[in-house]
Structure 1
Amino acid sequence: MTAAVLAAAPPRPAHRDPRVLRWLGAYTASTVGDGVYHLALSWTAVSSGSPAQAGLVMAISAVPRALLMLGGGVVADRFGPRRVVIVSDAVRCLVVLALAALVLATTPALWTLAAVALVFGVLDALFLPAVGSLPPRMAPRDQLARVQGMRGLGQRAGAVLGAPLGGLAVALGGPGAAFAAAGLLFALSLPLLLGLRLDPLPTDAGARGRKNTALGDLADGLRYLRGHRVLGPLVIVIALSDLGFVGPLNVGLALLSDQRGWGASGIGWVLAGFGTGAAASSLLLGVKGRVPRAGAVLGGTMVLGAVSVAALAHTPLLPVAVFLALSVGLLAGLSGALAGALLQTECDPAYLGRVSAVASLCSLGLAPLSFPATGAAIGLWGPGPVFVASAAVCALAGVHGLLVPALRRAELPK
């Protein structure tokens, strides 16, 4: 085959690209390991202290994650996301294996568990912006939507497999065995990441204008984001949608299921419906690879998903709730994947770590702060008004995206 024929050959689709599959395997192993670790940590904390103390241990990682996330974006842009992801997973592996050995030898004090949770929060602040910066360095721009769909499948795998595997490990060998399993999963990601070769970044204005100090880099990235016609409004859409969505999903469903008399199995069915819908949307995007008029579809699916969120609190029938949860998962999964793909295709690669850090801060740092307010509001007014209010915030996100011309007209590369 001649060089001219090779040059004219179409690029390999992401789901057949060995680099993307290597990255997906590492990401999925790390995500499942996270699920196993959190199950083991919560079980050990409950066994070692009061419920309130266990809740404090589980919540403590959110503090460094929120405070240091923007700094993690600067680190990813300065040192390269591959290096940051490898170091983060290596440290997580060593820490959790050391904790496994400690748990097998003795009963750890609560302060030890809190210290581990604190370390994981710091590592999350580094890992999340870096992992969001990897896809544009290993896949062409026209494949990034497909990569986001594949990433969504990895996230679903972590959500579906992590906790059951952790529970099985606890049942068979106790918390120490579960921590060891999590450490092995983190270790599994390392050879895959070490063998991953990334494309170099092009020389661009962001790289040429980068300041020498980390604080200067951060301010430069925030100015870039604020001035971008698509990315600035897109981050607002992401922040609003997560603020309205995560409270009902993580707190409201449990209270709703208890009020309706569905029990633990009922909430399991509702969550299974959501997970199935989210996985289906990720699979659709992973196979299809591109959605025309991505910006308009992003806003429209958020508005439609908000309708399903509001309706979820007003049905007394479990099968209808499961169907509504499936539609929420389908629409929210599609809008989330499109938001990630647009963020990566619109962003100058030199700023991608910092922009990913801002988006991750909104989703994983600030939105969970709504959990206590959601629980308290449902206790005062019941799930119906709270779900409707949360749905209104989700709808506001979609409407905002539709009203901003640059975002509404945004397209994924062909």
Structure 2
Amino acid sequence: MTTITTTAAPAARPAHRDPQVLRWLGAYTASTLGDSVFYLALSWTAVSSGTPAQAGLVMAVSAVPRALLLLVGGAIADRLGPRRVVIASDTVRCLVVLGLAATLFLTAPGLWALAAVALVFGVVDAVFLPAVGALPPRVAARDQLARVQGMRGLSHRLGAVLGAPLGGLAVALGGSATAFGIAGILFAFSLPLLAALKLRPLPREDEARDGTALRDLADGLRYLRGHRVLGPLMIVVLLSDLGFVGPLNVGLAVLSEQRGWGASGIGWVLAGFGVGAGGASLLLTVKGHIPRTGVVMGWTMVVGAVSIGALAFIPQLPFAVLAALSIGLLAGLSGALCNALVQTECDPAYLGRVSAVSSLGSLGIAPLSFPVTGAALGAWGPGPVFVVSAAVCALSGVYALAVRAVRRAELPKS
């Protein structure tokens, strides 16, 4: 009698124990810290070298090419491969920033040099951001992508929390040149980690691509339009960004001034939001799977919208911080789930282009609402503006719940 022994396939390694994921996360964290230090140093140097209006123009220079070229950047990331694009992007940023640091050590180049560096950063960001979004399926199993998104959220919060103080300390101790030098070193630190990544092969990866990056972009948009989950999900992302970005970037300052909270009050409210968003990322990192993902995502958007609207009517700072914590937790969870669904639903061959479309709302379209939000705040005050913004956020959740394919979307179990 013959005995047949079967060997079960090894379980996928958890994301937080996977060396490939940890290398990617280390590179992403270093790059995020470098970004935070760079933009603080750029802002400080621009203000010190010119008027506030001129400094504002320097800071805006990087946003324009990023918004205009982001979709093309997604097509380039898919065509050339995300790791190659990310390595090239961080190399360019490293060399440019270290060159600026050396220039500042020797002379005072003026605002034109700062504007030129900001322009280069905007162009590079347009290809870097979609490529970063396309890397996780190359380094992690599909059932670990939700955890990876949670870890990415924690890394992003870490960069935001530590980057600004690190940049401020560098400016205080050694001036702008030292701060730019530290930013360049952080970009350089990501390069060997990215070079050591071993990427998973993708379906059709070896197929030749015909045409140009623009044709690839059109092909990606057709793919999105025909996808039963991703197409509606892009509308959900856009609505949530339009409703969320204005109040938290423009309205919060007006609200703090009217309530007498001062600049420290803004800091406390933003800290509450950051803690909540970090908690949501930690939850997704630990659990890895949220049952009924589409339903949870939709309802957290709706309930989070209530907290956004309520923030304008809370006079006491401690309660406003609690409301911000609630917003961060709910909006952070819905955003992380949305990103995880994009990662798991999308054909990896299109992920750079889909990530670019997803990022366009928060990085390109939503910031265009800042002047409108400011004018509305001046005309009607924060109450009506926050309520309208909350309604737009709630609409994104209602739409997610109304579209059956999105409502029934599930993350794979880990």
The range that moved more, 376-385 or 123-132, is 376-385
Q: Match of 1:305?
A: 304
Distance between the aligned counterparts of 2:219 and 2:237, measured in 1? 21
Distance between the aligned counterparts of 1:299 and 1:115, measured in 2? 42
Aligned ranges 1:10-409 → 2 under 5 Å: 10-203=11-204, 211-409=210-408
The range that moved more, 7-16 or 78-87, is 7-16
- Cα displacement string for residues 64-83 of structure 1 (whole angstroms, at most 9, x for unaligned residues): 00111111111111110000
- The letter of the residue matching 2:229 is V
Cα 1:411–1:210 change in 2 (3 A) is farther
- The letter of the residue matching 2:298 is G
CA offset at residue 8 of structure 1? 2.2
- The letter of the residue matching 1:295 is G
Contact 1:153 1:282 in 2 (8 A): yes
- The letter of the residue matching 1:412 is L
- Cα displacement string for residues 277-319 of structure 1 (whole angstroms, at most 9, x for unaligned residues): 0000001100110101111111111111100000001000101
Distance between the aligned counterparts of 1:264 and 1:32, measured in 2? 23
- Cα displacement string for residues 1-47 of structure 1 (whole angstroms, at most 9, x for unaligned residues): xx964x52211110110100110010011001100000000000001
Contact 1:308 1:327 in 2 (8 A): yes
Contact 1:137 1:198 in 2 (8 A): yes
CA offset at residue 276 of structure 1? 0.2
Residue 171 of structure 1 aligns to a residue whose secondary structure is helix
Distance between the aligned counterparts of 2:278 and 2:35, measured in 1? 19
Distance between the aligned counterparts of 2:65 and 2:266, measured in 1? 31
Distance between the aligned counterparts of 1:209 and 1:340, measured in 2? 29
Distance between the aligned counterparts of 1:88 and 1:215, measured in 2? 20
Distance between the aligned counterparts of 1:208 and 1:354, measured in 2? 18
Distance between the aligned counterparts of 1:337 and 1:123, measured in 2? 25
Two-structure CA RMSD over aligned residues (Å): 1.3
Distance between the aligned counterparts of 2:80 and 2:147, measured in 1? 26
Cα 1:176–1:350 change in 2 (3 A) is same
Structure 2 alignment gaps of length 5 or more: none
- Cα displacement string for residues 213-234 of structure 1 (whole angstroms, at most 9, x for unaligned residues): 2221111110000110000000
Contact 1:146 1:288 in 2 (8 A): yes
Distance between the aligned counterparts of 2:376 and 2:59, measured in 1? 22
Distance between the aligned counterparts of 1:310 and 1:210, measured in 2? 48
Residue 85 of structure 2 aligns to a residue whose secondary structure is helix
Distance between the aligned counterparts of 1:42 and 1:51, measured in 2? 10
What is the percent sequence identity of the aligned residues?
A: 76
- The letter of the residue matching 2:75 is V
CA offset at residue 209 of structure 1? 9.1
Cα 1:221–1:109 change in 2 (3 A) is same
CA offset at residue 158 of structure 1? 1.1
Distance between the aligned counterparts of 1:396 and 1:330, measured in 2? 19
Residue 8 of structure 1 aligns to a residue whose secondary structure is coil
- The letter of the residue matching 2:396 is A
Distance between the aligned counterparts of 2:95 and 2:212, measured in 1? 31
Distance between the aligned counterparts of 1:210 and 1:256, measured in 2? 52
Distance between the aligned counterparts of 2:27 and 2:212, measured in 1? 32
Cα 1:22–1:365 change in 2 (3 A) is same
TM-score w.r.t. length of structure 1: 0.97
Cα 1:294–1:406 change in 2 (3 A) is same
CA offset at residue 203 of structure 1? 2.5
Residue 179 of structure 2 aligns to a residue whose secondary structure is helix
CA offset at residue 255 of structure 1? 1.3
TM-score w.r.t. length of structure 2: 0.97
Distance between the aligned counterparts of 1:345 and 1:160, measured in 2? 29
CA offset at residue 336 of structure 1? 0.8
- Cα displacement string for residues 354-395 of structure 1 (whole angstroms, at most 9, x for unaligned residues): 111111111211111112221221111111111111111111
